[in-house]
Structure 1
């Protein structure tokens, strides 16, 4: 049984919901799944003033070395001006020793994200996540067009071939839609199935 880590950072709960859907899909694909958050790096006064969601049910990952324990790592974070959030970047900036040992080479990697608008940097943020994974030697699993919801313009929705995504609206009021969550489940299942073929 493949072991999958869903690793995320979420300020307002959008990515948290997507992480849960990714994990649900990975479990449906036969994997053992852990969901972990990266540590918050914003000062407490900023967290409070900005109204960040702080009551997550998922534990914080304590040590970057834990990444080596998994067959697949699916990374999610909201965009910050078209790129990875500083919280997620700070976590990956600590992984130099893992890189030096090649500890993550050959594992499966994938990405998911959230933006305020349809053109708010989903693809560039996904690529900024995937860049970290590729430097570590992970084999990237995308979000393929086997998921029919990637097509169609009948509703506002996230989703790119580079990773599942959701659109939160400028005030954060829009939570992931059912089609976006279904896409995240699909991606999670594909990651689990790919990892099983490699490590099962």
Structure 2
């Protein structure tokens, strides 16, 4: 079985919805096992409640868990043009994996939610890929074979760098069907590539 981890942080549910779609896409690929996890919250409960953050019962991952997967798909909201601090704090604890090259050759991908079209959407997708490249992972985006990203009749999230959604300044706008379709597409795309790479690795070991 090819193992895929969809790991996210979500304050208001937009990224969680995309994460669920990513997991659905990956699960649609035969021979794939998918785990949906979130990173730990760092905001105190009192502030979370005051800000209206969602309750989320999704199990929490640890940095050590990343080594157990053939592919890791990261989802984050955009905060000031880059990934959320919760995601950065999680990755900053993965130095041990980096030191022993535990993620080298594995597949990495990213997706994001941003308040506005020009509020750092592509910047977040691109900069979230950087730590994955330091880990030695192979980056998979959302190619133009997903034609939905070229639609111009409505606000569409995502880019060739990964799936995404535009939440609106007040967060009232939820992922569109095109956004969710893009996430499902990316999840399946990642799973297929990870499966091929895992198969090659197993063949090499057998030889």
| TM tier relative to shorter chain | over 0.9
2:119 is the counterpart of 1:114: no
Structure 1 gap ranges (5+): none
Alpha-carbon distance between aligned partners in 2 of 1:131 and 1:182, rounded to the nearest angstrom: 25
In structure 2, the partner of 1:42 is: 43
RMSD of the alignment, in Å?
A: 0.8
In structure 1, the partner of 2:4 is: 4
TM-score (structure 1 length as normaliser): 0.97
In structure 2, the partner of 1:166 is: 165
Cα deviation, 1:107-164, whole Å, max 9, x if unaligned, reads 0000000001111111111122100100000000010000010112111111100000
Structure 2 gap ranges (5+): 200-207
Aligned residues: 198
Alpha-carbon distance between aligned partners in 2 of 1:27 and 1:44, rounded to the nearest angstrom: 33
In structure 2, the partner of 1:137 is: 136
TM-score (structure 2 length as normaliser): 0.94
Q: Please, which moves more after superposition, 39-48 or 178-187?
A: 39-48
Q: Secondary structure at the residue paired with 1:130?
A: helix
Paired residues for 1:47-86 under 5 Å: 47-54=48-55, 56-61=56-61, 63-86=62-85
Q: Secondary structure at the residue paired with 2:159?
A: coil
Alpha-carbon distance between aligned partners in 1 of 2:63 and 2:157, rounded to the nearest angstrom: 29
Alpha-carbon distance between aligned partners in 1 of 2:132 and 2:122, rounded to the nearest angstrom: 15
- Divergent runs of 4+, >2 A: none
In structure 2, the partner of 1:148 is: 147
Alpha-carbon distance between aligned partners in 1 of 2:60 and 2:194, rounded to the nearest angstrom: 24
Alpha-carbon distance between aligned partners in 1 of 2:21 and 2:146, rounded to the nearest angstrom: 15
- Rg comparison, structure with higher value: 2
